[in-house]
């Protein structure tokens, strides 16, 4: 009987220490998410300026560029999966991986080969556990991606895109990441990054029409300099959004975990009290019946 009580007390203690970990993780995620959102906002002017410049060149010069042309010759497709380095974020990484698997299936059904590029240790371990080849991986900064990391990823992917088919060149690039909608909603999204689709002559309402620019030194050179930067900035913004989503998902998951731990502690406390009470009752009835037996003899 006393053993039962001890087991419950032990479980209460271990759940309490788990709860402390969950609470700490929740607070850490909560304190970092503000910074992550600031970074998303800080990168916005750069992306805006680039988008404006790219559409200015594209509407003017209608130049053909390797990055904007379809490549029917290459049958490989690059897919970049953006996941987290650490777990404890609920279904965050799992839903990106699921979306990625769906895309891989779809691309394979079209008869194309897939070249996988992944960021985040979760995706790396997912694929190494299944013995599947990964063409490139980046880990270590999933919750605070720097512009340098984005640069590195963009360089690798652009190189793959511009390579000849026989050297493993890819014809398309898809990115699977988690879009940060708000603190409660983060949705996994698939976007086709390359080849770029230039939407011509679309000015957002209320925006001034683009002026007639002079290009220095020439439209082709300007476009050459702009497009890789544009890709890098798109990838950077995907990474930043994913980082904010990761932290939000972690905060929510850890909040739920803390609450569940509290529920468990409450339940075990109740069970422990019950065991204690029934033990006392049993001892009393043993004493009483013992006394009765003595009195009767």
Partner 1 sequence: MANLEVDLVAADRKVWSGEASMISAPAADGDIGILPGHAPVLAVLRAGTVRITAVDGGSHVVQVDAGFLSVDDNQVTVVVDTARDAVPGTTGRH
Q: Which residues bind partner 1 (CB under 8 A)?
A: 39, 42-43, 45-46, 49-50, 52-53, 56-57, 146-147, 150-151, 208, 210-217, 221-222, 225-226, 229, 232-233, 236
Residue 9 or 229 having the CB closest to partner 1: 229
Torsion over CA: 229, 232, 238, 240 (sign): negative
**Closest approach of Cβ 53 to partner 1, in Å?**
6
Asked if the peptide bond before residue 227 counts as cis, ω within 30 degrees of 0, the response is: no
Q: Kindly state the smallest distance separating residue 89's Cβ from partner 1, in Å.
A: 23
Minimum CB distance to partner 1, residue 248 (Å)? 20
Strands ordered across the beta sheet of 113-119? 136-138, 113-119, 76-82, 172-180, 186-194
The nearest distance, CB 136 to partner 1, in angstroms, is 21
| Cα distances (Å, whole numbers) of residue 41 to 44, 111, 236 | 5, 40, 12
C-beta of 222 vs 242, nearer to partner 1 = 222
Nearer to partner 1, 241 or 251 (CB): 241
Q: Which is nearer to partner 1, 203 or 287 (CB)?
A: 203
Q: Which is nearer to partner 1, 57 or 249 (CB)?
A: 57
Give the residue with the Cβ less far from partner 1, 107 or 144. Answer: 144
Q: Is 248 helix (H, G, I), strand (E, B) or coil?
A: helix
Q: Which two tokens stand for residue 20?
A: 């402390």
Q: How many residues does the chain have?
A: 297
Tokens standing for residue 7: 């087991």
The minimum distance between CB 264 and partner 1, in angstroms, equals: 43
Please answer whether residues 110 and 276 qualify as being in contact, where contact means their C-beta atoms are separated by less than 8 angstroms.
no
Output Rg (C-alpha) for the chain, integer angstroms: 29
Residue 193 CB, shortest distance to partner 1, in Å, is 17
- Cα 221–Cα 228–Cα 122 angle in degrees, nearest 5: 175
């Amino acid at each position: 009987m006393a053993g039962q009580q001890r087991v419950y007390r032990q479980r209460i203690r271990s759940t309490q220490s788990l709860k402390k970990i969950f609470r700490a993780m929740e607070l850490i995620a909560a304190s970092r998410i503000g910074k992550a959102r600031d970074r998303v906002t800080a990168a916005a002017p750069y992306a805006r300026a680039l988008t404006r410049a790219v559409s200015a060149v594209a509407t003017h010069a209608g130049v053909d560029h390797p990055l904007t042309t379809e490549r029917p010759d290459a049958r490989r497709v690059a897919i970049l999966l953006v996941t987290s380095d650490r777990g404890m974020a609920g279904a965050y990484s799992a839903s990106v991986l699921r979306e990625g698997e769906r895309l891989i299936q779809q691309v394979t059904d079209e008869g194309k080969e897939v070249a996988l590029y992944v960021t985040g240790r979760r995706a790396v371990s997912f694929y190494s556990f299944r013995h599947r080849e990964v063409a490139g991986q980046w880990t270590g900064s999933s919750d605070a991606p720097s512009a340098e990391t984005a640069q590195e990823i963009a360089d690798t992917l652009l190189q793959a895109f511009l390579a000849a088919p026989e050297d493993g060149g890819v014809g398309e690039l898809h990115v699977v990441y988690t879009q940060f909608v708000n603190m409660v909603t983060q949705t996994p999204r698939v976007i086709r990054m390359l080849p770029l689709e230039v939407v011509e002559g679309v000015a957002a309402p209320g925006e001034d029409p683009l002026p007639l620019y002079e290009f220095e030194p020439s439209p082709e050179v300007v476009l050459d300099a702009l497009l890789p930067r544009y890709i890098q900035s798109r990838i950077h913004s995907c990474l930043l959004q994913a980082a904010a989503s990761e932290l939000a998902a972690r905060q929510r998951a850890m909040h739920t975990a803390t609450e569940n731990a509290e529920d468990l502690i409450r339940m075990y406390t109740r069970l422990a009290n019950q065991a204690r009470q029934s033990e006392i009752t049993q001892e009393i009835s043993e004493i009483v019946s013992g006394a009765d037996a003595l009195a009767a003899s």
